[in-house]
Amino acid sequence: MKKLLLLLMGVSLITFSGCSKEEPHDPMETFYAYQSAFENQDFETMYELLDEESRRNLNKEEYVERYESLYESVPLTDTKLEPRMEIFDIEKKLKTEDSMKVPVNLSMKKEDENITYSFDATLVKEVNEEEKAYYRIAFDPLLVYRNYQLTDTIEVEEKLPERGEIFDRNGKGLAVNGELLWVGMVPGRIIDHEAAVSALSEALGLSVEHIDKRLSLDWVKEDTFVDMKRVSYEELEKFESLRLQYPGITYRVIKGRVYPYKEAAAHLVGYVGLVSQEEYEQLKPEGFPIDTRVGRSGLESLYEEELRGEVSRSVHILDAAGKVKETLKVMGEAKGKDLHLHIDIDAQRALLNELGEDRGTASLVNYKTGEVLALVNAPSYDPNAFVLGLSQEEYSALQEDPDKPLLNRYTRLYVPGSVVKPLTAAIALETQGFDPDDTISGTGDTWQKDSSWGSYSVRRIQSPGIPIDLRKAMIYSDNIYFAQTALKIGEENLIKGLERFGIGDEDSTGLGFMTSQISNDGTLSSEIRLADTGYGQGQMLFHALTLPRAYTAIADGGLLKELMIVNEERRPKETTVITEATADTVRSYMRDVIVQPEGSGHQANLPGRVLSGKTGTAEVGSGDTYLTLGWFSVIEESESSPYITTMMVEDMKDRGLSGYVVEKVKRFITTYGQ
């Protein structure tokens, strides 16, 4: 409605009724109408108020486009046009002159910047066909914007963002934007074709036939760089030597994603790959090209949107030569968001090194802060290979490897076995009527409650041959004691107690951890299943962080911590799940597992270190699929290293059961404690 009124006001200045008694046109009406239209950014009405010469030199469409391309793309807001002299003086001067310059201030707001500038607007007297005088505004580029010229243009420049990088807690790059070598050949430079192709074939692991086929493609000219393969920048010296020795072989240094620590953080960090057609269709409207690389696994995938960033758009005023006169606005960041982790890559590498060629997973957790300092998976793979390009044969070899290096073991579920016993002990200590000093017989290898169990019995790994109370049951890792204790606790109390320790909680990291469980259906209605659950068998399943998270409560006075991998600069959520007294008591039992010579974790008893731990042996499958899992988790009481180290090795056959894992963890603890 306002726009219509302004337009009518403007038109009324041109169209007259022809009445002989019509009042002379007031020139200030034109000024006020233009002033109002400018403040409302009604560019069409502003055009109608221009003088005839201005409209002859600048058509309406071009005029409106100039304003809209500038005012709407930035945008420019709060536009105002104010005279710098008294209205009375303007009117007085106009009575004696056919045109006059009106000093004005133009002001506008550009984001957080207030822009004000001054110049003289010109009012021009014109006569219509009926010889009636009226006034119009003479166009001046300064009515558009400060320092504006008609030869200026508005350009919106788009720039692809640099991908955000991933760093460990000490600022070491785990996924960085680095340099790669793009190795190829230039046909016109080749002197000895056979020798050069043969040398490149050996260096790149490509067949001679493949290289010759690339050189024979239709688009190849004598001076064409024919790309063959991307390789790590670490091989620069090797390919520089080939370039000098065999003319025709060459390379280009290009930008690319680099994973400096290779296998050490592959499953955690992940890797990037080219977009699929479907992904491209989603990203295309945002300005991303078809060769965009996106996260394919791990944190690269989970934080894809943050790491990818957005295409930045800069609005420039260009002069007649195409040079930037002024940058009006920059939208979007030049780089995606960097990701900072709690991970210590040195601890990560040390843990992976201890796993060696075994299949398994391990973690290092700060029980005071909930920070995950290491989370490893073995065997692993080099994520750089996916960026450089894997042949079908290489990819098939990874997929068909019986040790499954691409499998992310730390997110999957495993039977925990005896490492659950400290949790059962804590629940028992908080169960009314339970006495930790009560004993059971320590002789005999098997036990069943009664004949209703049929042929099923709970088996001991070793028979202590002495009466067993709760403390001794922890030291000897006695299955029979904890089976009987689970029956005393009862189904409801055991389930509630385990749930308080976080068993069954949904993954809060977003990394795809499967949900741990107490049983398949959430109940322990069977006595046998209830008894087996007490020592970590039955249908109980944990992922790699289930146990260390539960142990944070035992390590830190009953406080269960939220575990965090990405540094969100906040304290973890924590919940009191057992009393401080219970936590201290259970930890003292676990201390004896390390300190006492008969303890299953005694190998890890290090002088000067206060370590409390629990070993675990879990049985999985039967017949040809039977596996024994070896666990060990140890709490260190230390101001400088308040850590829980946990390791699980998949196949313990002929390896000394959990003692094999204890030795590995011991070596690691010795390393990080120095």
| pLDDT above 90 for 558 | yes
* DSSP assignment string, 572-592: PPEEE-S-HHHHHHHHHHHHH
Q: CATH code at 108?
A: 3.10.450.100
Nearest Cα to 223, choosing from 267, 177, 189, 184?
A: 189
Burial label for 209, CB within 10 Å (0-12, 13-18, 19+), is exposed
Is residue 116 one of the residues assigned to a domain? yes
Is residue 389 one of the residues assigned to a domain? no
Is residue 401 one of the residues assigned to a domain? no
Residue 91 binned pLDDT confidence (cut-offs 50, 70, 90)? low
Give the residue, 127 or 600, on which the prediction is more confident: 600
Of 68-77, 294-303, 551-560, 572-581, the one with minimum mean pLDDT is 68-77
Predicted TM-score (pTM) of the model is 0.84
Cβ within 8 Å of residue 474, ≥6 positions away: 421, 422, 425, 589, 590, 592, 593, 614
What pLDDT was estimated at residue 12? 46
Residue 2 binned pLDDT confidence (cut-offs 50, 70, 90)? very low
Is residue 549 one of the residues assigned to a domain? yes
Ramachandran class of 321: left when φ > 0, alpha when ψ lies in -120 to 50, beta otherwise:
alpha
What's the number of domains the chain is made of?
2
Q: E strand or H helix at 231, and its extent?
A: strand 226-232
| pLDDT above 90 for 90 | no
Give the residue numbers annotated as catalytic, written as ranges: 418
Nearest Cα to 189, choosing from 259, 268, 115, 248?
A: 248
Of 79-83, 89-93, 268-272, 375-379, the one with minimum mean pLDDT is 89-93
The mean pLDDT value for 407-428 works out to: 97
Q: How far, in Å, CA of 386 to CA of 379, rounded?
A: 17
Q: What angle do CA 537, 506, 175 make, to 5 degrees?
A: 105
Q: E strand or H helix at 102, and its extent?
A: strand 99-110
Q: How far, in Å, CA of 664 to CA of 668, rounded?
A: 6
Among residues 131, 150, 169, which one ends one of the domains?
150
What pLDDT was estimated at residue 161? 94
3-class DSSP assignment, residue 33:
helix
| pLDDT above 90 for 365 | yes
What pLDDT was estimated at residue 651? 86
| pLDDT above 80 for 653 | no
| pLDDT above 80 for 435 | yes
Is residue 363 one of the residues assigned to a domain? no
| pLDDT above 70 for 502 | yes
Among residues 92, 123, 150, which one ends one of the domains?
150
What pLDDT was estimated at residue 631? 96
What pLDDT was estimated at residue 509? 86
In one-letter notation, the amino acid at residue 594 is I
What pLDDT was estimated at residue 195? 97
Cβ within 8 Å of residue 570, ≥6 positions away: none
Residue 132 binned pLDDT confidence (cut-offs 50, 70, 90)? confident
In one-letter notation, the amino acid at residue 456 is Y
Of 102-111, 342-351, 478-487, 593-602, the one with minimum mean pLDDT is 102-111
Arithmetic mean of pLDDT over the chain: 91
Residue 96 binned pLDDT confidence (cut-offs 50, 70, 90)? low
Instruction: State percent of the chain over pLDDT 90.
Output: 79
Residue 88 binned pLDDT confidence (cut-offs 50, 70, 90)? low
What pLDDT was estimated at residue 671? 85
Burial label for 211, CB within 10 Å (0-12, 13-18, 19+), is buried
| pLDDT above 90 for 224 | yes
Among residues 150, 172, 201, which one ends one of the domains?
150
pLDDT (tens digit per residue) in 8-53? 344 444 443 444 445 556 777 888 999 999 999 999 999 999 999 9
pLDDT (tens digit per residue) in 589-637? 999 999 999 999 999 999 999 999 999 998 887 777 788 899 999 999 9
Q: CATH code at 612?
A: 3.40.710.10
Cα distances (angstroms) measured from residue 386 to each of 175, 180, 297, 381, 672: 13, 13, 11, 10, 31
Task: Answer yes or no: are the C-beta atoms of 642 and 631 closer than 8 Å.
Answer: no
What pLDDT was estimated at residue 11? 44
| pLDDT above 50 for 186 | yes
Strand ranges in 536-639 using DSSP code E only, listed in sequence order: 559-561, 574-576, 611-620, 627-636
Nearest Cα to 554, choosing from 598, 616, 613?
A: 613
Q: E strand or H helix at 267, and its extent?
A: helix 266-269
Domain that holds residue 57: 2-150
What pLDDT was estimated at residue 3? 44
Q: How far, in Å, CA of 485 to CA of 434, rounded?
A: 9
- Please report how many Cα atoms fall inside a 13 Å half-sphere around the Cα of residue 472, on the Cβ side: 16
Instruction: State percent of the chain over pLDDT 70.
Output: 94
Residue 4 binned pLDDT confidence (cut-offs 50, 70, 90)? very low
| 213-249 burial code (b ≥16 CB/10 A, e <16) | ebbeeeeeeeeeebebbbbbeebeeebeebeeebbbb
Is residue 112 one of the residues assigned to a domain? yes
What pLDDT was estimated at residue 537? 95
Is residue 354 one of the residues assigned to a domain? no
Burial label for 428, CB within 10 Å (0-12, 13-18, 19+), is buried
Cβ within 8 Å of residue 448, ≥6 positions away: 456, 457, 458
What pLDDT was estimated at residue 87? 66
pLDDT (tens digit per residue) in 452-465? 999 999 999 888 99
Is residue 24 one of the residues assigned to a domain? yes
The mean pLDDT value for 536-540 works out to: 96
Phi, psi (deg, nearest 5) at residue 409: -70, -30
What pLDDT was estimated at residue 97? 66
Residue 6 binned pLDDT confidence (cut-offs 50, 70, 90)? very low
Phi, psi (deg, nearest 5) at residue 227: -70, 145
Q: What is the CA 123 to chain-centroid distance, rounded?
A: 60
Tokens of 84: 């710098």
What pLDDT was estimated at residue 202? 96
Strand ranges in 369-489 using DSSP code E only, listed in sequence order: 372-378, 446-447, 458-459
Q: How far, in Å, CA of 204 to CA of 228, rounded?
A: 8
How do beta strands 166-167 and 339-340 pair?
Answer: parallel
What pLDDT was estimated at residue 269? 98
